Amino acid sequence: MQLPSFRRKAPDTAPATALVVTPSAPITAEAPSARWFWPWQEALERWRLSLAGRSAATAATYASAVKVFFQTPGAPDLAGITIEHLDAYASAQGLKAGKNAPGAERIAPATVNIRLAALKAFLLWCLNRDMLPGHLSKERIKDALRGITTRVQRPYQVLEAEELPAMLQAAEADKTDGARCLALVALGLGAGLRVSELCALNVGSIAIDKRGAYVDVQQGKGRKDRQVPIDESVYLLVAAYLEQTGRSIHRAADRDMPLFLTRKSKSSAGRLCTRHARRIIEACAERAGLQGEKHITPHGLRHSYAFNLLLGSKEEGREGAPATAVANMLGHADLRHVMRYTDHLERQKLAVYAPSLRRARQAS
């Protein structure tokens, strides 16, 4: 069997021609022993089912990331995997994240790291069950599938305060269902939910009590539940959408129905899917004239929410939220995820926090 030969380079320094696959000398994989080698499809399905601590959406994402390796032309089954296969795959993925990669093939560094991390976790699971050739070890798998370094990139895909009115107006002007689009965008900007969480909401997920309105997020990423406070303006937009569809937040019979429906359906089979939700929000941003240098997606609305929390608003008399509060509202278990946002804050926005020595000098 001939394997593609790659040199492992830093993505930003790799020439465009480095994506060309050139054959190397044939490598003979170790002959399978008497151990039982499962087809990769069956092993992958068993691994996916073993991810009991993850949400269904996360497990599906990891499984899809693993499939990329096995669906690459020339990829072996579990019995034929060599360390050279893993080296070649990791190098090819890293090159696709480089600035010299062709536009059609370029992928985000974060995507590369998800693919490598998922494949590493899957292969280590297989290794513990004697499903891999004997020459593969835990250390060799980890070394071959180590992630690439990610860098802060600009412009960051967020909506500035002055861009919000255009986004909301474009949402309301959606020809298919303006009320639904407006409620979807409002919850993205006003609650910072992931697109999978938005689509998983039921009518009963929106609630209000004497302390205010909130979104009850059940089984978010990592199977974590959380309650996210929302402003009354966001609550009213969601309520208006429900009223248009003949439903109500306060009607018990409606509580278990999907919040966002496709084609104004009134059955659970009509739940809006994540792919459709992405298309709705991206089309909305395009109508608003915001898809130039930026590319606004549902996750862009989530990022915008996080920035809004961290920076606060003088006009609204709202102080910036501490990182721990932002982490809780976003559903992040690790505070480091929130700290990444600070890397993207523009200098003029950070300047207000720079300490002054004026009073100290006056007192001296």
Question: 3-state DSSP call for residue 271?
Answer: strand
Sign of CA dihedral 39, 42, 46, 49: positive
* Mean pLDDT confidence for 164-179: 94
Residue 295 or residue 285, greater confidence: 285
For residues 112-120, average pLDDT? 93
Under the banding of pLDDT at 50, 70 and 90, the label for residue 345 is low
Going from N- to C-terminal start, the domains of the chain cover 4-144, 161-349
Helices 56-70 and 40-50 meet at what angle, rounded to 10?
A: 160
- Exposed, middle or buried: residue 291 (CB in 10 Å: 0-12, 13-18, 19+)? middle
| Residue 3 pLDDT | 39
Tens of pLDDT, residues 35-73: 567 899 999 999 998 887 676 777 888 999 999 999 998
What pLDDT shows up at residue 13? 40
Distance between CA atoms of residues 84 and 87, nearest Å: 5
| Whether residue 203 has pLDDT greater than 60 | yes
**How large is the average pLDDT for residues 185-201?**
94
Q: What is the pLDDT of residue 346?
A: 64
| Least confident segment among 124-138, 215-229, 273-287, 296-310 | 215-229
Per-residue b or e along 324-362, where b marks 16 or more CB atoms closer than 10 Å to that residue's CB = eebbbbbbbeeeeebeebeebeeeeeeeeeeeeeeeeee
84 pLDDT higher than 70: yes
Whole-angstrom distance, CA of residue 33 vs CA of residue 134: 8
Q: What is the mean pLDDT of the chain?
A: 81
Catalytic residue numbers?
194, 221, 299, 302, 332, 341
Determine what percent of the chain is predicted with pLDDT higher than 90.
49
- Contacts by residues 77-80 (CB-CB < 8 Å, ≥ 24 positions apart): 77/37, 77/39, 77/40, 78/37, 78/38, 78/39, 78/40, 78/43, 78/126, 78/131, 78/132, 79/32, 79/37, 79/133, 80/1, 80/29, 80/133
What pLDDT was estimated at residue 298? 92
pLDDT at 16 (0 to 100): 36
Q: How many of the other CB atoms lie within 10 Å of CB of 164? A: 15
Stated length of the chain: 364
The CATH class, in words, for 161-349 is mainly alpha
Q: Please tell me the predicted confidence (pLDDT) of residue 359.
A: 72
The pLDDT of residue 143: 95
pLDDT(305) > 60: yes
Average pLDDT over residues 303-313: 87
Q: What is the distance between the alpha carbons of residues 241 and 259, in angstroms, rounded to a whole number?
A: 9
Q: pLDDT by residue (tens digit) across 207-225?
A: 999 999 999 998 655 557 8
Structural tokens at position 228: 């996210």
| pLDDT tens for each residue of 256-291 | 999 999 865 555 558 999 999 999 999 999 999 987
Q: Does residue 104 contact residue 95 with C-beta atoms inside 8 Å?
A: no
Provide φ and ψ at 258, rounded to 5°: -60, 140
Question: How do strand 4-5 and strand 22-23 relate by DSSP bridges?
Answer: antiparallel
Q: Is 206 helix (H, G, I), strand (E, B) or coil?
A: strand
User: What is the tens place of the pLDDT at every residue in 18-32?
Assistant: 323 333 434 344 444
Per-residue pLDDT at 252: 93
Give me the pLDDT at residue 159, please.
87
Looking at the chain, the whole-number percentage of residues with pLDDT higher than 70 is 78
Residues 6+ apart with CB under 8 A from 196: 55, 57, 221, 274
**Tokens linked to 179:** 């009320």
